[in-house]
Amino acid sequence: MSKAYDVVVIGAGPAGYVGAIRAAQLGMSVACVDNWVNHDGRRALGGTCLNAGCIPSKALLESSELYHRARHELATHGIQVGEVSMDVAQMQKRKSQITRTLTGGIEMLFKGNKIEWLQGRGTVLGSGKVQVTPLDEGEAYTVDADNIIIASGSEPVNLDIAPFDGDRVVDSWGALEFDKVPKRLGVIGAGIIGVELGSVWSRLGAETVLLEAQDDFLALADQQIAKEAWKQFKKQGLDVRLGARVLGAKAQKRSVKVEYSQGEDKHSETFDRLIVCVGRRPNTEDLFSSDSGLELDDKGFVNVDERFRTNLPRVYAVGDVIGGPMLAHKGSEEGSAVAELIAGESAEVNYLTVPSVIYTAPEIAWVGKTEEQLKAEGADYRTGTFPFSANGRAKALEQAAGMVKMLADARTDRILGVHMVGPYVSELIAEMVLAMEFGASSEDVARTIHAHPTLSETVHEAALSVDGRAIHGVNRRR
């Protein structure tokens, strides 16, 4: 007889493990099926985010930024440190320790909430049935579930013209595992992942070239912010080539040759390593049996309604596998919401207030609509901007590049979007997410006292600027 649970979750990434914990908190018996195995053979919870994405990349970004600042900025503060070198092995060891601590923390949370971790691949056989194929040589078995939550996540897109070989041509996970700094690094894709990974190795000394097929840099971001970010990246030495369509990549013994076109011209470059990060696709391989009837959309994502229900009764799906912004925090909110819906509670996710962050230096963050989107909609809006160069705290930090931009409805003054590039904007954006969640106006933020001297004053001044009354900057004539 198979074991039965109130909820079985497939996948232990941010969407899956949060959904499992929330369901357990609500009094349900829960099992979580997950097949993640690290390069060293260690099994771990947390999915891509904690093991091969969000967390390890931020650890390397922090290490590389400190190295860059020590070499190029500390003398400005009067700090003389002599010759600075980077111990890549120690940097990687620190990164691994951080990920192990956090994934171990999830394991403890599972134990504390009496969630059973089933190590293996989960396959939906239909409503109420999940097959678990163990990671070892054990036989597959079936568990019963009153409810099933699919949270199998996503995986990197593998280009046929530049296939991964695990050595010279790698995906985003492989780019986090380099044991030495490449002399010359190529990156296909200058999106969020591309610019973050490119920044890490560029700061450490790699001559870095990013090949982006689109003609606009960071097309999803507000273009005024994107152009300011590009300007700063160029100063740092990142070589971003737009409209660069890769024709092929051939790995050799000690290098990779990449051919690409820009307009009518064809080019060739040779790199020591090549990172391919052109997007992610839903992880649906062996996710469901052929006779289960689970429906996917035309892009391969699991079809769900507004309550995360698939076409199968009491089978739900959340996170990257259902599309939308492939962000850990978006998936976590969906995981929590679906657990509450299963328990009969009211829950929803406000997709208009999902923030996006790029952890470069300067950082980039935004929430809500861009100016390009508002123009396309024919919306009547007002704009306020304020530069970090006029902010005392940013000056003291020696990080005064960038700006804050606020967009508000011209009639109601309700905030429609906020976009930032500058120091620690990954933290500043939270205030704007909260403001938009409560339907705040730019005047609400303008009338909120912000401590001085802080970086948050740029948000305050941008709100004042919407109405043409910024104090520490020249207001545009209206």
Catalytic residue annotation: 452
**CA nearest to 277, candidates 221, 206, 199, 388:** 199
Q: Are 266 and 259 in contact (CB under 8 A)?
A: yes
Helix segments in 7-145, DSSP class H: 14-25, 47-52, 54-72, 88-112
Beta-strand relationship, 403-409 and 415-422? antiparallel
Q: Are 300 and 284 in contact (CB under 8 A)?
A: yes
For the chain, how many helices (H) and strands (E)?
Answer: 12, 21
Three-class SS state of 93: helix
Q: Are 383 and 406 in contact (CB under 8 A)?
A: yes
> What whole-number distance in Å separates Cα of residue 170 and Cα of residue 246?
15
Structure tokens at 345: 């509670």
Chain position carrying tokens 């780019």: 175
Q: Give the up-direction half-sphere exposure of residue 252: CA atoms within 13 A in the CB hemisphere.
A: 9
B/e letters for 335-355, b = 16+ CB within 10 Å, e = fewer, are bbbbbbbbbeeebebeeeebb
Residue 167 φ then ψ, to 5°: -135, -75
> What whole-number distance in Å separates Cα of residue 380 and Cα of residue 27?
48
> What whole-number distance in Å separates Cα of residue 96 and Cα of residue 367?
31
Give the strand order in the sheet containing 363-368.
356-358, 363-368, 415-422, 403-409, 381-387
Structure tokens at 368: 């809500």
Structure tokens at 105: 């923390």
The DSSP line for 141-163 is EEEEEEEEEE---EEEPPBTTB-
Pseudo-torsion of CA 252, 257, 258, 264, nearest 10°?
Answer: -140
